[in-house]
Amino acid sequence: MSRDLLPGVTGVLALADGTILQGIGVGAAGEAVGEVCFNTAMTGYQEILTDPSYMAQIVAFTFPHVGNVGTNVEDVEQMSGAAETAARGAIFRDAPTDPANWRADSDLSAWMSRRGVIGLAGIDTRALTRRIRESGMPHGVIAHSPDGTFDLEALVAKARAWSGLEGLDLAKDASCLQPFVYDEGLWAWGQGYAKPGDAPKYEVVVLDFGVKRNILRALTAVGARATVVPGRTTAEEVLARKPDGVLLSNGPGDPAATGEYAVPQIKKLVESGVPLFGICLGHQMLSLALGAATRKMDQGHHGANHPVKDLTTGKVEIVSMNHGFTVDRDSLPEPVVETHVSLFDGTNAGIALKDRPVFSVQHHPEASPGPTDSLYLFERFAGLMDAAR
């Protein structure tokens, strides 16, 4: 296809098949390579762009008008604060608008620039979304050059040369380096983020593969003291803390790659009998530990409007999802029970063990961003810890 750029173009997306999408650069100048996915959420773009599960991905927002909420220092989801451990780029239909929200302390473009996140606006995101739905998530390079100078052939070559997410252990970079205790609760109107009580009801160890702050807030909201430890922590070290429960966090990358060191430890935790709760990547690696298989998805699930059925209650929930790998439901062995299923495509969305206090879900029950239909899962986890005492 033609390599001619339109007048005024300062941003491009170069795909591995040679396609060049042209627009206006937003945020940081430079270039970044990653897997291009789309997110259907209408709100929560700051939380999305700081979610470690988006590491090595470029997020195209299907909602056309982004930016009016602005950004603030409170709504960052990643713990590390490093831009490399979250989304590499963002694509918008319209240029981000000026903030008009009382909590904003910065506009989106300036915030992205400070974080080193490259953006591209003026793109037909509907056409890009349809392309991903039909052909899968492509490898691409997003680039922003204020003077409009691009080496398009080099950008395409870089996209083609990128190895992709399969086989990548990204959790090792998203995880914390030292244990720490998290001490914030859920946000409430007029109050901000709550402070937990002085006497926690539960001691929970969180194996950090790229944990989101709101997962930790949801834990403290049910009375837990959340001690976060690196993802490479051994089962023996976890159990030495005498936890009432263990949470396997969300995170980026290929679960089979991270599972090379995490799965043997998860097996030991299952055998110990301690209540165990897995979320997203934690769900996938728990499934691997129990004998199931995972596979790469063509387009993944990214959004805050996904219908999931809880097979244990018959209830349908609208949930937030962000994953490009899935558990092969046909590979689930005994005594594993499928507890949740996606009503979009029938893929697995949750499991539990028949004979142990162990369960996990593919979606993000902390709801950041998204609806709070699944917050009860943290209460379910608390119930397992009560029963185990």
- Both 228 and 283 in one domain: the answer is yes
Q: Over its length of 389 residues, how does the chain's per-residue pLDDT go in tens digits?
A: 446 798 999 999 999 999 999 999 999 999 999 999 999 999 999 999 999 999 999 999 999 999 999 999 999 999 876 677 899 999 999 999 999 999 999 999 999 999 999 999 999 999 999 999 999 999 999 999 999 999 999 999 999 999 999 999 999 999 999 999 998 878 777 777 878 777 899 999 999 999 999 999 999 999 999 999 999 999 999 999 999 999 999 999 999 999 999 999 999 999 999 999 999 999 999 999 999 999 999 999 999 999 999 999 999 999 999 999 999 999 999 999 999 999 999 999 999 999 999 999 999 999 899 999 999 999 999 999 999 98
The phi and psi torsions of 125 (rounded to 5 degrees) equal -70, -25
Q: Which of 173, 166, 160 is nearest to 78 (CA)?
A: 173
Asked if 204 and 279 count as a contact pair (C-beta separation under 8 A), the reply is no
Q: Which of 161, 185, 211 is the last residue of a domain?
A: 161
| C-alpha to C-alpha distances, 139 to 57, 136, 270, nearest whole angstrom | 9, 10, 37
User: Residue 364 catalytic?
Assistant: yes
Q: Check residue 335 and report its DSSP letter.
A: T
> 5 lies in a domain?
no
Asked about 37 being catalytic, the answer comes back as no
Domain match, 337 and 248 both: yes
Per-residue pLDDT at 1: 40
Whole-number Å distance between alpha carbons of 78 and 86: 7
Number of domains observed in the structure of the chain: 2
Tell me the C-alpha distance between 152 and 205, whole Å: 47
Q: What confidence score (pLDDT) does residue 80 get?
A: 75
Claim to verify: residue 222 and residue 244 sit in the same structural domain: yes
Cα atoms in the 13 Å half-sphere on the side-chain side of 157: 5
Say whether 359 sits in a helix, a strand or coil: strand
Bridge partners of 68, per DSSP, are: none
Position 346 in a domain: yes
Distance from C-alpha of 145 to C-alpha of 156, rounded to nearest angstrom: 16
What is the gyration radius of the CA atoms in the chain, in angstroms? 21
Identify the pLDDT of residue 81. Answer: 64
Residue 215 near residue 167 (C-beta atoms within 8 A)? no
Spatial separation of the C-alpha atoms in residues 325 and 209, rounded to whole Å: 15
280 is known as an active-site residue: yes
Sheet holding 276-279, edge to edge: 180-182, 224-230, 202-208, 245-248, 276-279, 358-361, 348-353, 336-342, 294-310, 316-327
Residue 2: the pLDDT is 43
Cβ neighbors of 110 (< 8 A, separation 6 or more) are: none
pTM for the full model? 0.95
In this structure, are residues 321 and 363 in contact, taking their beta carbons and an 8 Å threshold? Answer: yes
In a domain, 1, yes or no: no
Number of helices followed by number of strands (H, E) in the chain: 10, 19
Same structural domain for residues 248 and 329? yes
| Annotated catalytic residue within 77, 280, 306, 323 | 280
Judge if 361 and 234 occupy the same domain.
yes
* Boundaries of domain holding 261: 171-388
